[in-house]
Chain A
Amino acid sequence: MSEKEVKNLEAIFEARIARDEKIEPKDWMPEKYRQTHIRQISQHAHSEIVGMLPEGNWITRAPSLRRKAALLAKVQDEAGHGLYLYSATETLGISREELFDQLHSGKAKYSSIFNYPTITWADIGAIGWLVDGAAIINQVALCTTSFGPYARAMVRICKEESFHQRQGYEIMLTLCNGTPEQKAMAQDALNRWWWPSLMMFGPRDADSPHTEQSMKWKLKRKTNDELRQQFVDQTVPQADILGITVPDPDLKFNAETGHYDFGEIDWDEFWQVVKGHGPCNKERMEARVGAWERGSWVREAAMAYAEKQAKKKVAKAS
Chain B
Amino acid sequence: MKKDWPLWEVFVRSKNGLEHRHFGSLHAADAEMALENARDVYTRRNEGVSIWVVESKYITASNPADNGEFFEPAQDKIYRHPTFYDLPDEVKHM
On A, residues with C-beta under 8 Å from B are 24, 26-28, 73, 76-77, 80, 83-84, 87-88, 90, 95-97, 152-153, 160, 296, 299-300, 302-303, 305-306, 309-310
Contacts and interface: CB of A to CB of B under 8 A. Distances in A.
A26 B65 CA distance: 8
A88 B23 CA distance: 11
B67 to A, nearest CB: 9
Given A76-B44, A83-B26, A28 B64 contact: yes
Interface string B1-37: 1111101000000000000000011110110010000
B41 interface: yes
B30 A310 contact: yes
B78 interface: no
A80 B10 CA distance: 14
13 contacts: A26-B64, A28-B64, A73-B44, A80-B42, A87-B24, A87-B25, A96-B7, A160-B45, A300-B1, A302-B30, A302-B33, A309-B30, A310-B30
B35 to A, nearest CB: 13
Identify which of B24, B44, B64 gathers the most chain A CB atoms within 10 Å of its CB: B24
A305 B44 contact: no
Given A87-B25, A90-B25, A303 B5 contact: yes
B90 to A, nearest CB: 40
B24 A26 contact: no
A80 B1 CA distance: 28
B4 A80 contact: no
A291 to B, nearest CB: 16
Interface in B22-73: 24-27, 29-30, 33, 40-42, 44-45, 61, 63-65
A84 B24 contact: yes
Contacts of B64: 24, 26-28
Given A303-B3, A310-B30, A84 B65 contact: no
A77 B41 CA distance: 8
B4 A95 contact: yes
A77 B44 contact: yes
B29 A306 contact: yes
A80 B7 contact: no
A26 B5 contact: no
A96 B65 contact: no
Given A26-B64, A83-B41, A96 B4 contact: yes
A28 B65 CA distance: 7
A77 B44 CA distance: 8
B27 A305 contact: no
B27 A96 contact: yes
Contact of B30 (A88, A160, A306): A306
B34 to A, nearest CB: 10
Nearest to B24: A87
Contact of A26 (B3, B30, B61): B61
Contacts of A80: 40-42, 44
A153 B30 contact: no
Contacts of A309: 30
B5 A90 contact: no
Contacts of A97: 4
A305 B29 contact: yes
A140 to B, nearest CB: 19
B48 to A, nearest CB: 13
A24 B61 CA distance: 12
B86 to A, nearest CB: 33
B24 A153 contact: yes
Contacts of B27: 96
A299 B30 contact: no
Given A26-B63, A26-B64, A309-B30, A299 B44 contact: no
